[in-house]
Amino acid sequence: MNTPSHAILNLALFMHGTEQPAILAVVSGAVAPDIPLFIFYAWVKGVQRLPEGQIWTQAYYHPFWQRWIDWCHSMPLAGLAAWSCWRMGWVPATCFFISMILHSVGDLPVHHDDAHKHFLPVSQYRLISPLSYWDPKHYGRTVALIEIILVLAASIFIFPTLGNGLSQGLVIGINGFYGFTFGYTILRRQFPNLFCRAGNV
């Protein structure tokens, strides 16, 4: 699942009734497991200047990067941290680690070749799902559409509770970007000649 989707869906899960959680903690926890991915991409693209094909077929699977990505997606570690923070009454920190767990739960059904070891250090097991959130060979387009619909519904639900224009603007921007990229992909598939002609102008 895409990182912004985790943030919006996790906020929707935390927003119940009239209670409002520590929004920053929830969003940060939703994003945190993917931080090694951001660092990885910045390094291989910005420093090593690798082509996209090599990045996602070779560099991504290097043991060093996989190790850090897997540990940041560990549900047992996040669960232990959440329990410890809850015992000490640290509500924002508890929300942060629960949000990390929800991130991994959301990833489990939509990762195929790039599945993480979500159960470290208890187990090295990877759940190889038949579905992928990006790979067309594993229903990626259908999963992407479902993700967009869920994010849109969650955005409508949380929008009135966000409380400031910046947060609301970010939510609108994320949905607009998703809609544009998915629409562009569909149009490119349906009318390939149109895009070929546009590129030759």
Tell me the per-residue pLDDT of 97-109, one tens digit each, with 9 for 90 and over. Answer: 999 999 999 999 9
pLDDT exceeds 70 at position 199: no
**How confident is residue 175, by pLDDT bands cut at 50, 70 and 90?**
confident
Asked if 125 and 54 touch (Cβ cutoff 8 Å), the reply is: no
pLDDT in the model for residue 107 = 98
- DSSP secondary structure code for residue 149 in this structure: H
What tokens were used for 12?
């929707």
Helices 3-14 and 165-190: crossing angle in degrees, nearest 10, is 130
Asked if 5 and 107 touch (Cβ cutoff 8 Å), the reply is: no
- DSSP H or E segment with residue 37: helix 35-41
For residue 16, the cross-strand partners are: 19
Residue range 152-170: average pLDDT? 86
Nearest to 14, CA basis, from 30, 1, 34: 30
CB neighbours of 136 closer than 8 A, spacing ≥ 6? none
pLDDT exceeds 90 at position 165: no
Side chain identity, residue 167 = S
Residue of higher predicted confidence among 187 and 34: 34
Structural domain tally of the chain? 1
Rg of the chain, C-alpha, whole Å: 19
Asked if 39 and 59 touch (Cβ cutoff 8 Å), the reply is: no
The residue assigned the tokens 């497991």 is 33
CB neighbours of 5 closer than 8 A, spacing ≥ 6? 106, 147, 150, 151
pLDDT exceeds 90 at position 188: no
CB neighbours of 194 closer than 8 A, spacing ≥ 6? 187
The residue assigned the tokens 């159960």 is 119
> Which domain, by its residues, includes 22?
3-200
Q: What is the SS3 assignment for 47-96?
A: HCCCCHHHHHHCHHHCHHHHHHHHHHCCHHHHHHHHHHHHHCCCHHHHHH
Report the C-alpha gap between 129 and 60 in whole angstroms.
19
